[in-house]
Structure 1
Amino acid sequence: MILGKVIGTVVSTRKNELLIGSKFMLVQYIENNELVEKYIVAVDSAGAGIGETVLVATGSAARLALDKKDAPVDATIVGIVD
């Protein structure tokens, strides 16, 4: 799991058909309660917005979180931190 802050959206005009309708977010890593210069693009399954702190699952867990086991996904936002 990665803790991060959503800093923007990523727009894709062409994508794999399994990802049509998915929202992509740009997430900046948080380490030791501080933002670091490290970023990841993640599919949003939690309805996160810009400025929110989120939990990101990576690897095969990212596909399972989307219920799309064949989708080419390596990172999925799975939770919003209060």
Structure 2
Amino acid sequence: MLIVKVIKPLVSTNRIPDFEHKHLQVVQDGSTKKVAVDAVGAKPGDWVICVSSSAAREAAGSKSYPSDLTIVGIIDHWEPDPPKSPATPSAPTTPSTPAPPSAPPGNSSGGQSA
């Protein structure tokens, strides 16, 4: 099973007879868009559960149905993991160099002050 997001409906007026009147949806799986048969009435923006392979054909109505991805459930609440950002290497740290010692107090190059 897959968890995907419904993007928009896909309208196809010319279809083979086995497609009957099933709705099709464009779904997004990561960065890939796919077409799924909608067996549950999902809307754009819904997170849904999909099945593939022979389970998709049977969920769509028949093992002879020409589907390899079928929406079988609408998820009520889902918070997807945030996208992973590439790790940015931190700048190498260099040890700080100590400040040069200051001159002792009271020594100046002139004479005495008045």
What's the TM-score once normalised by structure 1's chain length?
0.87
Distance in 1, matches of 2:9 and 2:73, equals 17
Q: After superposition, where does 1:31-50 map in structure 2 within 5 Å? A: 36-50=30-44
Question: Which residue of the partner structure matches residue 17 of structure 1?
Answer: 17
Question: Which residue of the partner structure matches residue 56 of structure 2?
Answer: 62
Which structure exhibits the higher relative contact order, with contacts defined as CA atoms closer than 8 Å and separated by 6 or more residues? 1
Q: Which 5+ residue runs of structure 2 have no aligned equivalent? A: 77-114
Decide which structure has the larger Cα Rg and report it: 2
The root-mean-square deviation of aligned C-alpha atoms, in Å, is: 0.9
Q: Which 5+ residue runs of structure 1 have no aligned equivalent? A: 30-35
Q: Deviations over 1:16-39 (max 9, x none)?
A: 11112110000011xxxxxx2111
The size of the alignment, in residue pairs, is 76
Q: Deviations over 1:17-73 (max 9, x none)?
A: 1112110000011xxxxxx21111000001100100000101000011122111111
Question: Which residue of the partner structure matches residue 76 of structure 1?
Answer: 70
Percent of pairs identical after alignment?
41
